[in-house]
Amino acid sequence: MAAKLMVGNWKMNGSLAANASLLSEVLGGMGGVTCRAAVCVPSVYLAQMQSLLAGSAMALGAQDVSAHEDGAYTGEVSATMLRDLAVRYCIVGHSERRQHHGESDLVVASKAQRALAAGITPIVCVGESLAEREAGQTEVVVKRQLAAVIHANGHCISEIVLAYEPVWAIGTGLTATPAQAQQVHAVLRAQLQAATAHAERVSILYGGSMNAANAADLLAQNDVDGGLIGGAALKAPDFLSMLKTASR
Ligand code: PEP
């Protein structure tokens, strides 16, 4: 079994000074951490982070990537540009991008494709809204979102990381119960198994108000291979505590 993977999503937070200080506290406390770890930072700080993370056990991640290869796409950042800065992971299809930037399943699938082609592991986010959960549509929604990525990526699908992030749990303080998370993760695992003989290679992360207090119970579930952590990743003691929990 691969080591758990814990990924901090800094979202649109930070500054040169704040990043350096947060990272120095995190890297200084990583003794005994054996899980895989990464931080996904705003793209303007990737170069700073590339140099601060050099030689450390923390991998560098981006929060988005263009669905296009290159050319006249003002404001966008391509997968090969990310690769230039030693980016190892890239979040695609975060619910905040699906919701505020109108990203469709098709666009998310193309972004995953661009990342894979550049040698970057896409962290593909799927998850249902509260209304969809209440309407009993959770499985239908997450399966539809994953199906688009499977369809576009064929046999490369075993190279992705998947994150189940119920939209109602992101940044709200509401967390899926360990049983709710496991149930959806098992559905996603089965869908991957139907698509590839190497489904066991795909780490399925849980994200949505994961914190130092609830991480152990969530990570104890069979199909929860790690976490995608927003708010709690901005506090060094909390993030470190979760990295240590995931290393047990
Ligand atoms: C996220 O941004 O992916 C996330 C899970 O945020 P939070 O942990 O703050 O809910």
Ordered by where they begin, the domains of the chain are 5-26+35-246 (3.20.20.70)
Distance CA(123)–CA(115), nearest Å, equals: 10
pTM of the model as a whole: 0.98
pLDDT of residue 86: 97
Mean pLDDT, 10 residues at a time, the chain of 248 residues: 94 98 97 97 98 97 98 98 98 97 97 98 97 97 98 93 97 92 98 95 97 97 98 98 97
Closest atom of ligand 1 relative to the 232 alpha carbon: 8
| Residue 237 φ/ψ, nearest 5 degrees | -65, -35
Q: Which long-range contacts (CB under 8 A, 24 or more apart) does 96-99 make?
A: 96/11, 96/170, 97/64, 99/167
E strand spans, 45-131 = 58-62, 89-92, 121-126
Among 10, 165, 172, 211, which is best to mutate for testing ligand 1, by the most ligand atoms less than 8 A from CB? Answer: 165
Q: Does 229 sit in the ligand 1 pocket, CB within 6 Å?
A: yes
Give the Cα separation of 137 and 118 in Å (integer). 34
The pLDDT, as a whole number, for residue 1 is 72
CA of 94, closest atom in ligand 1: 3
CA of 72 to the centre of ligand 1 (A): 32
CB 50 within 8 A of CB 86: yes
pLDDT of residue 155: 85
Alpha-carbon distances, residue 27 vs 23, 49, 54, 106, 160 (angstroms): 6, 12, 11, 37, 26
* CB of 9 sitting under 6 A from ligand 1: yes
* Residues 46 and 78: beta-carbon distance below 8 Å: no
Cα distance between the two ends of the chain: 13
